[in-house]
Every structure is written in structure tokens, then in C-alpha cells.
Amino acid sequence: MKLFVCTTCTKNSQSFLEEVQAALPKLNVEGIDCMSGCTRAQTVAFRSGGKVAYLFGDVTKADIPLLETFSALYDASPDGTFQDARVLGDLRHKAIARIPA
């Protein structure tokens, strides 16, 4: 699983990437240029082979614990989907897209 963090969303995107990497050392967190979520900066995306991908926007430092929770649920899901979006916590309100595998 990879967690991509946009590095062009805001002037603080690079420091946000570093904060996420430091807070979530067990995850493969990678910076990436624009994910076209500019109107909802800061954007992040989860992707894993054979699973749907998720793009979230309006993510802040306060959401980092939710990213960790989401990553565990996503990892445990065989296809990356969830029967009930409430398991995503407040991130469900920040979802921009769910992209088929």
C-alpha cells in the first residue's frame, strides 16, 4: 500500500508530507506532484494493487490519526471497499474519489 501526498497543493505541502512520513513510519508515504485536487488542498491518495484507490481532500495535520486508522482498515479489506462508509470516520466527508482497481 502507498499513501501519496500532493506536494504542490499549498506552499506548506512539503512540510505536510514530512509530518505524515514522521507520524506514520510504517506506511510507504510518497510525495507526488499535483493530483488535480487543488480546490480541496491538501490532497492525499491511498493505492494498493488489486484494490480501489481513494483520493481525499481538505486533509490537515489533525487528520493524520484518521489516515492511520484508514490505512489499517484499507489494508485489511480484500478489495479496498467498505460495506459502511462510517468506518472511514470523518475522512468519509473528505473523499473526492474512489477509483476502481
| pLDDT confidence of residue 12 | 92
The domain that holds 61 is classified in CATH as: 3.40.30.10
Instruction: Determine the 3-state secondary structure of 79 from DSSP.
Output: coil
Number of residues that make up the chain? 101
pLDDT at 92: 94
Supply the range of the domain harboring residue 38: 2-99
pLDDT for res 88? 86
Residue-level pLDDT at 20 = 98
The list of the chain residues with pLDDT below 50 reads: none
The pLDDT of residue 27: 95
- Identify the DSSP state of 48: -
For position 19, what pLDDT does the model report?
Answer: 97
Quote the number of domains for the chain.
1
Three-state DSSP at 37 gives: coil
